[in-house]
Chain A
Amino acid sequence: MRHAGKTLTIIVVISLTMASSTLPAKPQLNYLVGLNMEVVFMDNGVARVTLKQHPFDAAGRSLISNTEVVERVIGEEDSIISLVLLFFTTDPSKASYVVHAHSKLDPEEQVLCNTGTPGVMERFDGAVTLTLDILLNTTSSLIPLGGDVYQIVVTDYFTLTDPRSWLDVMDFRFMGSVRLLNFSLDPSWAKPPSVATPARLQWLNMNEADAPDNYVLTLQIPGVILSTTPLRLRAEVSGARFSNATSSLQVGVRNTGGDEGVFTVVLLEEGFEQARKISLKPGAEAWVRFPVHAPDGGELVVKVFGGGEQLDEQRLTVNVEKSTETRLPLLSAIGLILMVIGGFTILLYLDERLKRLQSP
């Protein structure tokens, strides 16, 4: 399938393998999809995103009456949601959203789209629509600037990642108490908006070159609660062992909390900061190793982080272990015997000499 659009294109993978000679192609439904996105910024930091899709063929003919194609578009809701979230966050798994209206065919909607004729935006009747409410405070797009002013970076994920794809229409609206204070584009030479009013910004992108990669908005949004991750993870440094044979430090970490989590063990020494990730179940302990670069007697600091917070800190000194397993080699034993015999011989000599001096 080539599900593209003046928009997204599912990659036709050209065998990236080393040895294959012939690879079967997946059955393809060749169609492109016109994409229009409307983003309504609402009080409390909610962005209501409506995506309107209209499939068409390479000749620019609408496929909205092709049931198979439309069902295919509707059936891709999960992946489309991920794509929409990627407009607002670098990690969709951490974004909170609610599907306000699932994908459905709406014959009343319209989609604007360039189908290959330069400079012409065609209007298609009918669209597959999907509406999400995204909590911006759970995304990476929301950057607090102070007070209730925020910078919001909306990334056209299509044009950023696939140079052939872009959004045909991006339509920002500002509702309730939300105020547009400023906006800019990245790259700066991207086409300016077709509509720019205090309540609305709209871009009509004829091609990928016109379409901005990033829409940067400065908004006043009252009522946003910046949630912080509750500190639930607990861990401690449970031990440390320095091995001079390998110049390495083993650090033990124990999860002392009730939640499984990923912890980061940090070793600080002069000139180096090293960190290791470790996943621990509640009560579990594990050891990690670091190469030590500090000289003997050098100061080391070990810290444990979890959930973005420092959980423990220990200070250590590089102490050289003296081997407890040193065995007296054979030659050393012989040396000792020779020392005893030599000493005894000297004592004999001294004894004889003393007797000789005392004798009349």
Chain B
Amino acid sequence: MQHAKLIVGLVLTLIGVSLVFGFLPGEAQYSQAGQGTASREARVEYVEKRNYTYFLSQSFLLRNPSNSTVVDLVYMWLPVNASSQFVSLLETSIEPLYRKKGEEGALILVYNVSLPRGETMWLNATLQVTVEKYRLLMENIPWLNYSQVEKNTGGKRYWAVENQTYVSIAQSIGLNARDPVEACSSIGKWILARLDYQPTWRKGAEHALITRGGRLIVSGDCEEVADVFVTLARILGIRSRVVHGLYLLEDKDVVTMWIRRTETGYDTSDNWGGHAWPQIYVPKAGWVDVELLEGGTVKIGDFSQYHVKYGFEEKSFLGSTMLYCQAMFLETDSFYFTFRRVKS
């Protein structure tokens, strides 16, 4: 009985010590608001990656509008071999004179075509296009290095990086961003919150931002969305560019979309999917697609199989001249694209 006090005292002391030292923050837990220490490893991983293959037939109706026979060079753009897209030419209706690489890697077939006055002809090419649907996990991505920022984040005709309105918007959105992916996510949300989607001729970032009711609005279509995104990203020192291509609006085994010249302009099929979207260059990952017009959310490195890339616009000051099929003297009256999905 005499030792009972000693035992009780020791037990209470031991319990007390374990409670105190077990629940006081230790050296390893520099917690702030219970977050714990963040990982520091730069990490890029595919969460999802799957290939979708299409047979693509692209056909263009050429017309000689003049009163004499015209011998002309006709330029046909092909989808590009690029990150997350693999293209092979299967056949073409006539043998091209040569193949040409455009300024930013676009692949162009050049045909020598002779057409008597007033006549028309179809020019066709069939390709196999494999699009990689992917979803990336990106953590602790570093910003670009100094020389890349200096070299690759300047302004161009459509990207008004010196416009003070854009500068102040970019800095308010992105200066506090921890990494470039977080900054781009904030840019995307900012654009979507102000987007008034209006099909229009390309007007560039400078004219895409308007004030309505005392509020800034991003007015335009996919090109304006891309141009505003690229402008804001470049102001923050993020290398960014625009991709031009097609988007499959229908999830079907066979999709045909077209444009036809009319007397007043162009008619397009209801499912016409001419599209433009931004990409950002992410160290350790390369070019990563950004989509703001698919599902109403900001998708960075979450790329669907419905995109087909025809060309990039990064360095050319005046922007892309991708036109699918054009000649100097002959007119292109119709553009047809048929995608046949290959079952995997």
Contacts and interface: CB of A to CB of B under 8 A. Distances in A.
Nearest to B97: A209
A11 B75 CA distance: 14
26 contacts: A14-B266, A14-B335, A19-B199, A21-B269, A90-B317, A116-B72, A118-B71, A161-B318, A163-B100, A163-B321, A164-B327, A209-B73, A209-B97, A245-B35, A246-B38, A264-B149, A275-B146, A277-B237, A305-B146, A331-B22, A335-B15, A340-B16, A342-B14, A346-B9, A348-B5, A349-B2
Contacts, number: 296
A134 B182 CA distance: 43
A266 B2 CA distance: 71
A342 B32 contact: no
Given A18-B275, A245-B36, A278-B175, 17 more contacts: A13-B202, A14-B324, A19-B199, A58-B65, A83-B318, A116-B328, A161-B316, A273-B146, A286-B175, A291-B42, A293-B41, A323-B25, A335-B15, A336-B16, A349-B5, A349-B9, A352-B5
A287 interface: yes
A291 B40 contact: yes
A39 interface: no
Contacts of A331: 19, 22-23
Interface in A8-28: 9, 11-26
B20 A339 contact: yes
B19 A117 contact: no
A343 B13 contact: yes
B40 A247 contact: yes
Interface stretch (B51-59, B102-110, B121-129, B209-217): B102-110
Given A163-B102, A275-B149, A353-B2, A334 B199 contact: no
B153 interface: yes
Given A163-B110, A338-B13, A20 B199 contact: yes
A208 interface: yes
A345 interface: yes
B32 A243 contact: yes
Interface residues of B, number: 110
B199 A247 contact: no
Contact of A20 (B41, B235, B268): B268
B47 interface: no
A230 to B, nearest CB: 18
Interface string B152-187: 011100000000000100010001111100000000
Contacts of B145: 266, 273-275
A177 interface: no
A331 B22 CA distance: 9
A247 B38 contact: yes
B268 A86 contact: no
A25 B331 CA distance: 15
A341 interface: yes
A115 to B, nearest CB: 8
Contact of B146 (A92, A243, A266, A342): A266
Given A161-B103, A207-B73, A290-B143, A245 B12 contact: no
A21 B221 contact: no
Contacts of B321: 9, 11, 161-163
Interface string A84-121: 00100011110000000000000000000000111000
A243 to B, nearest CB: 7
A320 interface: yes
Contacts of B316: 161
> Which 7 residue pairs of A and B lie closest in terms of their CB atoms, listed nearest first?
A335-B19, A342-B12, A339-B16, A25-B265, A342-B13, A345-B9, A338-B16
Contacts of A339: 12-13, 16-17, 20
Contact of A342 (B16, B70, B153, B221): B16
Given A18-B222, A59-B66, A339-B13, A332 B20 contact: yes
Contact of A163 (B10, B67, B108, B153): B108
B323 A11 contact: yes
B272 interface: yes
Contacts of B3: 349
B333 to A, nearest CB: 12
B244 A16 contact: yes
B46 interface: no
Contact of B175 (A14, A208, A288): A288
A338 B33 CA distance: 28
Contacts of B305: none
Contacts of B171: 278-279, 286
B265 A24 contact: yes
A20 B267 CA distance: 9
A147 interface: no
A342 B17 CA distance: 10
A22 B38 CA distance: 51
A91 B316 CA distance: 10
A293 B153 contact: no
B40 A336 contact: no
Given A161-B321, A208-B73, A291-B140, A264 B23 contact: no
B268 A338 contact: no
A274 B146 CA distance: 7
B20 A18 contact: no
B194 to A, nearest CB: 18
